[in-house]
Amino acid sequence: MATVRNRGRDLWIPHLRPKTLDVSVDTVCWLGIRSAARLGAARRICLHVEGLDHVPARGPVLIASRHFHHLYDALALLTTVPRQVHFFVALDWVHGRSGRRFMEGLCRAARWPVILRQEEIARQAREHPQGPAYRLDETSRYLRQGIAEATALLRAGRALVVFPEGYPNIDPRYTPKQGAEFLPFRPGFARMAALAARDGRAPVPVVPAGLSYSVAPGEAGRRDVPTPGGPAPGDLSDALWLRGRWQVTLRFGRPLDAGVARGGEGAGAPLAAFVRQVEREVQALSQPAMGGDVAALGDLAGQPAVLSG
């Protein structure tokens, strides 16, 4: 079982070195993003990784990950996975035309498929009529395009990261989650894996990835001062104001065969059963070794720590 730790200067993750230099735009972009992720990870998280050998070194793979922190989940995955990875991202949180152009340009350069969450666009339209950078009638087009791009990446033998819950537990903007709960997995990731393997193409293994967070030793008493309108003491979102480092455990499970979801149009009972299987695996891999998620978070406000269900 592979174990990787980062401790300041000791942060180093082995990565594949191709025999010939790949100078494609998305690879150059990924190298820059990964370098920034390593710097961010060294400053803000103490990372422990298990099961890295379950991630195929080459060929198509879809990593279905828990989504706990809006930023640090990606830092952990970018720092750890020993090959170029692409993320399936939602950009409906962006505000303003300039923000939309910038983020879409960055995702296009990195070949990160972009979608919009219909319910999130509708929520923003209700609460901030002048704020959303996207319209509700754009969601279908982005969904079709995002799925097509994700399928093309998998057929090209790339690695794709998907957060099937759709929302993190900790987000400065909005999340429907309460505490450390999981949301039901959306089936889109299984459909993409099934679509990519059609017409005799190579099967796409789905690797479940679990994440467990706790406050690093000695960091529980250090936090930023909440801004007006910030979270109430004891709320899980109080973790947004933590100054210092998180203890993050990232676990990869054995690859699962998405072939059971390929029947017919990739829908129905086989697909639903496979989605539930992946969901159970991710939840099991997200269980902390000791204590609960965000252990010692309660110490920040003198409240009991929030535990995983």
Token output for 12: 């180093």
When pLDDT is averaged across residues 139-168 and rounded to a whole number, the result is 96
In angstroms, the Cα distances linking 226 to 93, 127, 231, 241 are 21, 23, 7, 6
Kind and range of the H or E run holding 246: strand 246-252
**CA-closest candidate to residue 48, choices 100, 116, 2:** 2
Grade residue 258 by pLDDT with cuts at 50, 70 and 90.
confident
pLDDT digits (tens, 9 = 90+) for 42-74: 998 999 999 999 999 999 999 999 999 999 999
Grade residue 173 by pLDDT with cuts at 50, 70 and 90.
confident
Low-confidence winner among 51-55, 121-125, 147-151 (lowest mean pLDDT): 121-125
- Report the C-alpha gap between 196 and 153 in whole angstroms: 9
pLDDT digits (tens, 9 = 90+) for 192-250: 999 999 988 888 999 999 999 987 665 554 544 333 333 443 344 455 545 567 899 99
Domains of the chain: 4-300 (3.40.1130)
pLDDT of 269: 76
Q: What is the mean pLDDT of the chain?
A: 80
Look at 291 and 141; give whichever has higher pLDDT: 141
CA 290 to chain centre: 23
- Report the C-alpha gap between 136 and 119 in whole angstroms: 9
When pLDDT is averaged across residues 258-286 and rounded to a whole number, the result is 80
Max mean pLDDT range (14-28, 34-48, 259-273, 290-304):
34-48
When pLDDT is averaged across residues 182-194 and rounded to a whole number, the result is 96
pLDDT of 244: 63
Residue pair 255/265 in contact (Cβ under 8 Å)? The answer is: no
pLDDT digits (tens, 9 = 90+) for 69-108: 999 999 999 999 999 999 999 999 988 889 899 999 999 9
Grade residue 127 by pLDDT with cuts at 50, 70 and 90.
confident
When pLDDT is averaged across residues 136-165 and rounded to a whole number, the result is 96
Taken in order 277, 281, 286, 290, the sign of the CA dihedral is positive
- Report the C-alpha gap between 93 and 116 in whole angstroms: 9
Grade residue 303 by pLDDT with cuts at 50, 70 and 90.
very low
Alpha helices, DSSP H only, in the chain?
25-44, 72-80, 97-110, 118-127, 139-155, 188-196, 269-285
pLDDT of 62: 98
Token output for 50: 């298990």
- Report the C-alpha gap between 35 and 30 in whole angstroms: 8
pLDDT of 218: 58
Q: Say if residue 301's pLDDT is above 50.
A: no
Low-confidence winner among 7-11, 110-114, 128-132 (lowest mean pLDDT): 7-11
